[in-house]
Chain A
Amino acid sequence: DAGVIQSPRHEVTEMGQEVTLRCKPISGHDYLFWYRQTMMRGLELLIYFNNNVPIDDSGMPEDRFSAKMPNASFSTLKIQPSEPRDSAVYFCASSPGQGALNQPQHFGDGTRLSIL
């Protein structure tokens, strides 16, 4: 079975540009999570969705960040405008959630974002 698929694997762009990170969760998983990993703050939960609906976005750092899940098989995390301090590895994870509570989250390989 395919795991969680994230794209791109690496992204390098100049500050002020719009950045869009993409995620395809595992088919049948009801929950989707976006995380940011930095050396200073470790792994932080940004937002999560249940059945395509955002449930908790309290981890989103500021209004420059937005996330959408237009359907069960696709989600985006957008940063506009991007800033150097947004440089990090961004992980997407999915989980069956209530359908199978003993199942953990499955992580994608992450997107390494560098804002110059």
Chain B
Amino acid sequence: AQTVTQSQPEMSVQEAETVTLSCTYDTSENNYYLFWYKQPPSRQMILVIRQEAYKQQNATENRFSVNFQKAAKSFSLKISDSQLGDTAMYFCAFMKLPTGMMRFGAGTRLTVKP
């Protein structure tokens, strides 16, 4: 079974600075997707970024980028120029193919301080 581990329950960062959230996973699959979801206090689950396992190039979405190390089974999220609106819980998730079934990490609570 796949497991997803986020080892940082809480993190904080000053506004405008950069922060990296860690995620590791365990799987015997070769073809899968990885995601970062954001959950602000409003409770909505918002997709931040996704990465296809077969792609070596790290995904980027504006201020968000990932460091995907397939051999190490590591998938960290870097947030540049942090904004107060980035304050939220961040979940790392693994999607098994072809079912689309997902496993989530426990989450990292990120606080951006003014």
Contact = CB atoms under 8 A, between A and B. Distances in A.
Nearest to B35: A104
A72 to B, nearest CB: 16
A33 B52 contact: no
A116 to B, nearest CB: 21
Contacts of A102: 33, 50, 52
Interface string B74-104: 0000000000000000010001011111111
A26 interface: no
Contacts of B44: 107, 109-110
A45 B52 CA distance: 21
A109 B43 contact: yes
B104 to A, nearest CB: 4
A45 B98 contact: no
A35 B39 CA distance: 14
B105 A101 contact: no
B104 A42 contact: yes
For this complex, into which size category does the number of interface residues on chain B fall? 20 to 34
A107 B45 contact: yes
A34 interface: no
Nearest to B50: A104
Interface stretch (A13-21, A61-69, A75-83, A91-99): A91-99
Given A42-B106, A42-B107, A104-B95, A48 B101 contact: yes
A73 interface: no
Contacts of A97: 98-100
Given A42-B107, A43-B107, A105 B98 contact: no
Contact of B101 (A56, A89, A109): A56
